[in-house]
Amino acid sequence: MKSKAMLGVMVWLMLLCFSQLTQAAYLKEIDLTALAKKQFPNAGRHELNADMAVMVSFQNDNAVGYSFTTDSIVSIPAYSGKPVDSVVSMNAEGDIVYAQLIEHHEPILLVGIPEKELEDFVAAYQGFNVTDKIRVGSGNDENQIDAITGATVTVMVVNEAIMKAAQKVAKHFHVAGLKDTSNQRASIKPDAFEVKNWQQLLDQQAVSRLHLTQADVDAAFADTEAADVHETESATDDVVDLYFALLNIPTVGRNLLGDTEYEYLMSQALQPGDVAVAVMADGAYSFKGNGYVRGGIFDRTQLHQNNQVMVFRDLDYIRLSDIYIDGFPGFAEMAIFIVRAKDEFDVGSPWQLELVIRRQIGPVASLFKSFYADAPVLENYIVRPEPVIEEDTPLWVKVWHEKAFQVGVISFALVFLAALIFMQDYLVRYPKLMHKMRTGYLLFTVFFIGWYSLGQLSVVNVFTFVGAVYTEFHWDLFLLDPVIFILWAFVAMTLLLWGRGIFCGWLCPFGAIQELVNEAARKLKVKQIELPFAVHERLWAVKYIILLFLFGLSLESLSLAEQYAEVEPFKTTIMLKFQREWGYVFYAVLLIVISIFNRKLYCRYICPLGAALAIPARVRLFDWLRRRKECGQPCQLCAVECEIKAIHPDGQINPNECHYCLDCQMTYYNEKKCPPLVNKNKKRNKQFNKKPPQQIDVVEVV
């Protein structure tokens, strides 16, 4: 009867939990045009900027406002793995005039903290400027917004998304003095002039050269239909001996053109951002060609830089008739080609000149080969932009910095626990010390790991990890919560070494609450209710069924699985400290009350996380829990004393259910408690106390 009643209570509890679930993810529709009209009523028109997906509001052709959604500008995943999307309106001075939450998938908000708190958090950005350094925390500091208790990671992601999106929009539209410096190019020093002759320019590579003999060109056309076509009669003759230079550099342009021609070129012929290249050549092959027509392009000469090809049209050509530099050899063909500003030529990057040589193989058909010459960067004559140091620290690094204290304390505690496990064979010989250490650690787990650091692992973490593996895996997502990350790393290690018991018995805050409550109840002589082992063994399967059910839901919808994962009372008890709807609180409290009469009922029969950990734990490397041949037959002491019934009547410890409390090991080494040791000591003492037979000396009488 007792077992049936217990099973009925469990089923009712789960039904109660599921009946309280909320529905779909928070989602609001947003009309950017309507929002822009409302926030900037004096604007005459509103246009969507396709490059940035920003609705720009204009008044008399002047931009007065910008409206956008954060996810369309920057996509920063939150704890759910999906972004928290907000809509923001910003005026021409960079002031945020409106901010509203429009979409999130955060589980702690879907079934925990009311969305109103996150809505208020987003709305609090109204009045801040895009240049402000917003800090999320608590207090009255300037430019600070209060965090939401229990949702620290979520609000830090929201802050990052709103401010980064606003700054990116501001830089694109040059709002509040911000500008995008990512594509800034080097510039030429206007006053860096030195008198040079022709040879000196060649020596410092200010003038580059492409020299092709007939043999060079023939080698390129070998094994083609144009192999027998030649530009000159002798293999040693020059097909082209070509020189080219960047005229914008004063030391090059002034020396080649003279002051007057250089000033004319810079002030009259070139527009801002244009670059002029002088090309000069001798030889049988013309770099301009005779096929050029007005409105056409120069098909033999072009420039290459940063995977971009720059071609020249008729308007990009200027005749070059005179060169005034000393030592100039003179050339039969000279020209100035202009690279227009739209091509974004960078004087701070290497570039190439390409010469295309054409050989005709029929009335119409021709073959072409390209030859290249490199032009190096003349560092002495350019100025590179100052590197703009922008705060681009990954969000997870900021979170770890914010939680440095928790990270340090928990890391030390985990090292201490690992040392305790390694020294278990020694420590269990001192039961009183061991009990005190364990009780102290459980209290630390509840108060520091749980309620202070919110370090409660959940089966939702497992589903998130599995989902990430099958979609796009990013470590940043898991690093967002350093406490959870460190705990999972430690649990993964201990699973491989010893199984699931280290977490379930030492590091689960809700499990620790149940154990401490039950321990107090036992000291108060509260009668315990235990199920027969046959029923107890079958109830183990319930948590695996729940796990399979939740896993199946997660394949369809992770958000739905997160909602049904409320079968775990962790969020109510640890994350929200019972501050939520009565159904959740009643469920969590009832489980704790039941633990007064039955040790860790939830952990043994319901917990899907325990079931999830038990599966990989089957490949554990070590089994350090000692057993004797007498365990189970005839001795049943450990099986009876095991308070979570993880020891079978045959004496074997079920590693899938063991919580590694080490109580059985304390009995194993206790010579006054362990029956096999007691019997062994009795036999030893009996043999020691048994008197030897008296010996009679025989004296021979003579």
Position 63 scores a pLDDT of 92
Q: Is 139 left (phi over 0), alpha (psi -120 to 50) or beta?
A: left
Q: Give the CA distances from residue 154 to residues 78, 164, 403, 542, in Å, rounded to whole numbers and listed in that order.
A: 6, 15, 14, 33
Does residue 658 sit within a domain?
no
pLDDT band at residue 591 under the 50/70/90 scheme:
very high
Whether 194 and 224 map to the same domain: the answer is yes
Whether 361 and 249 map to the same domain: the answer is yes
Position 408 scores a pLDDT of 94
CB atoms inside a 10 Å sphere around CB 275: 23
Taking residues 550-554, what's their average pLDDT? Answer: 86
pLDDT at 481 over 50: yes
- Rounded to whole angstroms, the Cα distance separating 566 from 108 reads 10
Whether 418 and 506 map to the same domain: the answer is yes
pLDDT at 337 over 80: yes
Six token digits for residue 630: 């007498």
Whether 146 and 228 map to the same domain: the answer is no
Position 138 scores a pLDDT of 56
pLDDT band at residue 24 under the 50/70/90 scheme:
very low
pLDDT at 412 over 60: yes
**% of the chain with per-residue pLDDT over 90:** 44
Whether 88 and 156 map to the same domain: the answer is yes
Whether 475 and 588 map to the same domain: the answer is yes
Does residue 671 sit within a domain?
no
Residues contacting 281, CB < 8 A, separation 6+: 240, 241, 242, 243, 287, 331, 332, 333, 334
pLDDT at 559 over 80: no
Tell which of 177, 195, 227 closes a domain: 177
pLDDT at 333 over 70: yes
Whether 250 and 309 map to the same domain: the answer is yes
Taking residues 615-641, what's their average pLDDT? Answer: 86
Does residue 413 sit within a domain?
yes
Whether 200 and 343 map to the same domain: the answer is yes
Does residue 645 sit within a domain?
no
Position 15 scores a pLDDT of 45
Does residue 356 sit within a domain?
yes
At position 510, the amino acid (one-letter code) is F
Does residue 304 sit within a domain?
yes
Weakest-pLDDT range from 110-119, 293-302, 578-587: 110-119
Position 69 scores a pLDDT of 93
Instruction: Classify residue 621 by its DSSP letter.
Output: S
Taking residues 90-97, what's their average pLDDT? Answer: 93
pLDDT at 11 over 70: no
Please, what sign has the CA dihedral across residues 194, 198, 202, 206? Answer: positive
In the chain the first and final C-alpha atoms are separated, in Å, by 91
Domain of 331 in residue numbering reads as 187-383
Q: Is 450 left (phi over 0), alpha (psi -120 to 50) or beta?
A: alpha
Six token digits for residue 342: 């739209």
pLDDT at 293 over 60: no
pTM over 0.85: no
- Rounded to whole angstroms, the Cα distance separating 526 from 512 reads 19
Position 156 scores a pLDDT of 81
Q: What is the mean pLDDT of the chain?
A: 85
pLDDT band at residue 671 under the 50/70/90 scheme:
confident
Residue that the structure tokens 């609000």 belong to: 155
Q: Is 301 left (phi over 0), alpha (psi -120 to 50) or beta?
A: beta
pLDDT band at residue 16 under the 50/70/90 scheme:
very low
Tell which of 349, 383, 417 closes a domain: 383
Tell which of 383, 418, 444 closes a domain: 383
How many CA atoms does the CB half-sphere of 512 hold within 13 Å?
Answer: 25
**% of the chain with per-residue pLDDT over 70:** 85
Position 269 scores a pLDDT of 92
Q: Is 91 left (phi over 0), alpha (psi -120 to 50) or beta?
A: beta
pLDDT band at residue 689 under the 50/70/90 scheme:
low
Report residue 649: phi and psi, to 5°. -55, -25
| pLDDT tens for each residue of 362-402 | 888 889 999 999 999 999 999 887 655 455 667 778 778 87
Weakest-pLDDT range from 77-81, 326-330, 481-485, 492-496: 77-81
Six token digits for residue 389: 């140091």
Residues contacting 493, CB < 8 A, separation 6+: none
Whether 132 and 112 map to the same domain: the answer is yes
pLDDT band at residue 416 under the 50/70/90 scheme:
very high
Six token digits for residue 322: 């005179």
> Is the CB of residue 561 less than 8 Å from the CB of residue 464?
no
At position 302, the amino acid (one-letter code) is Q
- Rounded to whole angstroms, the Cα distance separating 300 from 312 reads 10
pLDDT band at residue 135 under the 50/70/90 scheme:
confident
Taking residues 451-476, what's their average pLDDT? Answer: 77
pLDDT at 476 over 80: no
Taking residues 133-142, what's their average pLDDT? Answer: 66
Position 2 scores a pLDDT of 47
Whether 155 and 195 map to the same domain: the answer is no
Does residue 369 sit within a domain?
yes
Residues contacting 333, CB < 8 A, separation 6+: 280, 281, 282, 286, 287, 288
Omega before residue 634 within 30° of 0, cis: yes
Residues contacting 146, CB < 8 A, separation 6+: 121, 124, 136, 137, 138
Position 531 scores a pLDDT of 86
- Rounded to whole angstroms, the Cα distance separating 284 from 359 reads 13
Does residue 665 sit within a domain?
no
Give how many domains the chain has, as a whole number.
Answer: 3
Taking residues 557-568, what's their average pLDDT? Answer: 80
pLDDT band at residue 19 under the 50/70/90 scheme:
very low
Q: What is the 3-state secondary structure (H, E, C) of 187-239?
A: EECCCCCCCCCHHHHHHCCCEEEEEEEHHHHHHHHCCCCCCCCCCCCCCCCEE
pLDDT at 699 over 60: no
Selected residue with higher pLDDT from 641 and 285: 285
Position 468 scores a pLDDT of 65
Whether 596 and 485 map to the same domain: the answer is yes
Taking residues 177-185, what's their average pLDDT? Answer: 68
Whether 373 and 435 map to the same domain: the answer is no
